Amino acid sequence: PYDVQRATARLDAILADAPHDVRALVERGYLASRAGNVHETQRYYKRAFAAAPANEHAYWSYGWSLLDLGHPTCAIVAWQGAALLHGGHPSWLPYSLAMGYWRAGDRARAIAWYAVAARSLPQYWGDAKAVAKYTHFWSPQERATIERIFR
């Protein structure tokens, strides 16, 4: 199991030595969002964006943090920004957008994006067994959402 306290201590030590370490800032922001700490989430991501304004991973992660914090429309915007920075068709975009649209209440758009994910990556999204295997590390709320979309 993932030890959040140990991870937080490790990241804080990294950031004490390298305050602009984007990977550590992003992970610290994500952990803050998982704890429901909006202020800390915003603080760490703001620092990450200042250090690396065009970091696709930072925007992708920020989207998941925003979704965790109950802001699905903002999550969609963050993921769209990450996709633009990617410059192509990132494999994570369809299922991420499906999650965001579902949580925003736009069921039809969520199902349409999920269908794109299932066609693009059937080994992850094509059947219930694949979905369960791919999302085993997701939070219970995230798994419940993707399972509702899949049905």
Q: Are 63 and 33 in contact (CB under 8 A)?
A: no
Q: What is the pLDDT of residues 50-94, one digit of tens each?
A: 999 999 999 999 999 999 999 999 999 999 999 999 998 999 999
Q: What contacts 24+ positions apart, CB below 8 Å, involve 87-90?
A: 90/56, 90/60
Q: Which two tokens stand for residue 83?
A: 């996709």
Q: What is the residue extent of each domain of the chain?
A: 1-71, 91-151
How is residue 36 written in tokens? 């429901």
How far from 62 is each of 81, 112, 124, 125, CA to CA, in Å?
10, 23, 22, 23
Packed helices 22-34 and 38-51: angle between N→C axes, nearest 10 degrees: 160
Q: What is the pLDDT of residue 151?
A: 82
CATH 3.90.220 corresponds to the domain 1-71 = no
Name all contacts of 137-142 with Cβ < 8 Å and 24+ positions apart.
139/34, 139/68, 141/68, 142/67, 142/99
pLDDT score of 1: 60
Report d(CA 98, CA 92) in Å as an integer.
10
What pLDDT score does 3 carry?
86
| % pLDDT > 70, the chain | 99
* Alpha-carbon span 54 to 16, nearest angstrom: 23
pLDDT in tens, 3-49: 889 999 999 999 999 999 999 999 999 999 999 999 999 999 999 99
Angle between helix axes 56-68 and 38-51 (nearest 10 degrees) is: 170
